[in-house]
Structure 1
Amino acid sequence: MAPRGKTASKTVSVATSADTSAVSSAYPSRAPSPVPRRQPFRFFDLPSELRLRIYEEVLFVKRPVDLDPMNYRLILPRLSPFLVSHRMHEEAYPVFYSQTIRLYPYHGRFFHTKKPLVSRLPTHYRNAVKTMELRLGPGWSKPPVNQNTSASLGLADCTNMRVLKIFVELDPSDSIFTGYRGKNATEETYKWFCVDLLLGILEQVPSIETVEIDAYPGVKKDAPLVMALQKVVADVRLRLTWGPLRGWEKGQDEPGLIGLEKAMAGMGLGDVSRVVEVRA
């Protein structure tokens, strides 16, 4: 006789439970196991040398830092480590300002600004500057008023600066500039203006140890402006080096042939040393 009522229900329930247990044993549960909570990366546990290397990768740009309309794209995103914490800011800003800082603005939008980049920096940022670039040539017929070495520029605060890079775009003493030098200007006017700039920088920043001179291919090593700058460096007994673009060597009388000059010389196109780039 078949079971009835509660007895029958209990028998069916027991059978079902047995079947379910058998299936569960054959196919283990697929319920996800709890995911371990991710711990924050302990950046400051890294050795200081490695942290500095990371800062360099993040903060360095491939050109001198200057006032530029595109800084909000090129530089501003790189400065995010400054906002992480006070400790990271204190470690990061000396790295950022150790790269080359351009002394006078080069971009046309800021070329005539009254306050170059270095004068806009807080004192502790100027203290961190190690290398500065002085670009000679732009505005040669009428240099803007911001090209000066007055105390308001803040050069005296650059106590850790060791290298001054001078890039000569052109030398207006060349005869091809006759008639374009500006009112009452002679072939030596701009040369002495540049010499005064260099003397003013060296006077206010006695920590400078090395002066590097470089130039565009159209500028010869024996150009009056280049020779005048060399004399200033020699007189104050600083180390003089030649920049990578021109490739001049000490004691070499002839200008090196690089870039466009070398290519044109290789094609037998003769003397191209008078190729110049003019920005009046």
Structure 2
Amino acid sequence: MVRRRKDSSASRAISSAATSVISSAVSSRMPSRAPSRAPSPPPPPPKPVEPFRFFDLPSELRLRIYELLLFMSKPLDLDPVNYRLVHPRLAIFLANRRTYEEAYPVFYSQPIRLFPTHGRFFHTKLPLLARLPAHYRSVVTTLELRFGPGWSMPPRCQNTNPSLGLADCSSLRTLRLFVECDPSDGIFAGFRGKNATEDTYKWFCVDLLRGIMEQVPSLETVEIDAYPAVKKEAPLVMALRRNIEEGGKKLIWGPLRGWEKDADEPGLIGLEKALAGMGISDAPAIMVAVEA
């Protein structure tokens, strides 16, 4: 019995092997139903990315880019935070010579404050304009001068001596005057400083204006603006206006105070202007009684 079982197992193994060999031989002779695909070619190597050619842009677009990069939200002035706000912007000057030649006139065409107002530099003998090289001063187009800081004792360093460099400002077209206060008003009596009269600060401001107009013949327009407390008919404002007109310069009124009208009356400012725009500035006042 054992021998028969072994013979039967051996015969089945031989039969299975023979069947496998025959099947392999038949399948190798029969053509394959799926066509053989040629191997796909390797992907081409990526093209090198060419750098953007900035100077291929039209000059108008380049200037617009310089403005977006370099223009500040307030006039340029001596300030302790300039290293954080201004200095990083000037890194574009180091790109190459052509970029520098195109960018620096844009940077210095924005308003520059003639005399600093920050306490750290208020009494400096070298304002920002005096610290600039002559070729930078030659592209300055707008100066700002603020009247009010130091009114009780005007700093001696605020003057229009030749060392300030105004004669180099051949491109200067606009002078912005901003009046923070007018010490000619009676409320300043007793606070004007030793031997100062109601006209002392007024003539100090007028002398600065005259010095600028005399040294900068290219000046065309003078803008006067002020805080709400300053009236259009204030002695300081009237004196500035008279000297501007006598000097043959165009006088315009600044946007903050709202002196758009020709008459000597204060303009609408702040909430008054907003209410006027809604047509309710002349509405009668409403009394509200509050009971305790």
- Bin the TM-score by the shorter chain: 0.7 to 0.9
1:71: how far off? 1.1
Corresponding residue for 2:68? 57
CA distance in 1, matches of 2:273, 2:120: 34
**Structure 2 unaligned blocks of 5 or more:** 1-27, 29-33, 287-292
Query: Which of 247, 255, 259 pairs up with 1:236?
Result: 247
Query: Which of 151, 157, 169 pairs up with 2:180?
Result: 169
Is residue 102 from structure 1 mapped to residue 113 from structure 2 by the alignment? yes
Identity over aligned pairs, percent: 68
Is residue 45 from structure 1 mapped to residue 56 from structure 2 by the alignment? yes
**Structure 1 unaligned blocks of 5 or more:** 1-14, 16-21, 270-280
Is the CA contact (8 Å cut-off) linking 2:232 and 2:238 kept in structure 1?
A: yes
Counterpart residue identity of residue 93, structure 1: Y
1:41: how far off? 1.0
1:108: how far off? 1.4
Is residue 93 from structure 1 mapped to residue 104 from structure 2 by the alignment? yes
CA distance in 2, matches of 1:174, 1:246: 18
Is the CA contact (8 Å cut-off) linking 1:217 and 1:261 kept in structure 2?
A: no
| SS of equivalent residue, structure 2 residue 175 | strand
With over 3 angstroms needed to count, the CA separation of the structure-2 counterparts of 1:115 and 1:47, relative to structure 1, is: same
Query: Which of 68, 81, 86 pairs up with 2:79?
Result: 68
With over 3 angstroms needed to count, the CA separation of the structure-2 counterparts of 1:199 and 1:158, relative to structure 1, is: same
With over 3 angstroms needed to count, the CA separation of the structure-2 counterparts of 1:80 and 1:27, relative to structure 1, is: same
| SS of equivalent residue, structure 2 residue 138 | helix
Counterpart residue identity of residue 97, structure 1: Y
Is residue 116 from structure 1 mapped to residue 127 from structure 2 by the alignment? yes
Corresponding residue for 1:77? 88
Cα RMSD of the aligned pairs, angstroms, is: 2.4
What's the TM-score once normalised by structure 2's chain length? 0.79
Larger radius of gyration: 2
Is the CA contact (8 Å cut-off) linking 1:217 and 1:257 kept in structure 2?
A: no
Query: Which of 239, 242, 248 pairs up with 2:259?
Result: 248
Segment drifting more, 158-167 vs 31-40: 31-40
Is the CA contact (8 Å cut-off) linking 1:161 and 1:205 kept in structure 2?
A: yes
Counterpart residue identity of residue 101, structure 1: I
Q: Which protein has greater RCO, CA pairs closer than 8 Å, 6+ apart?
A: 1
What's the TM-score once normalised by structure 1's chain length? 0.83
CA distance in 2, matches of 1:260, 1:187: 31
1:33: how far off? 4.5
Is the CA contact (8 Å cut-off) linking 2:261 and 2:267 kept in structure 1?
A: no
Is the CA contact (8 Å cut-off) linking 2:257 and 2:267 kept in structure 1?
A: yes
For residues 160-198 of structure 1, the C-alpha deviation after alignment (integer angstroms, 9 at most, x for no partner) is 100000000000011111110000001110000000000
Corresponding residue for 2:218? 207
1:262: how far off? 5.2
CA distance in 2, matches of 1:261, 1:220: 15
CA distance in 1, matches of 2:120, 2:44: 60
CA distance in 2, matches of 1:263, 1:181: 36
For residues 29-62 of structure 1, the C-alpha deviation after alignment (integer angstroms, 9 at most, x for no partner) is 7x76422212111111111111111111111111
CA distance in 2, matches of 1:60, 1:244: 20
CA distance in 2, matches of 1:80, 1:260: 42
With over 3 angstroms needed to count, the CA separation of the structure-2 counterparts of 1:190 and 1:264, relative to structure 1, is: farther
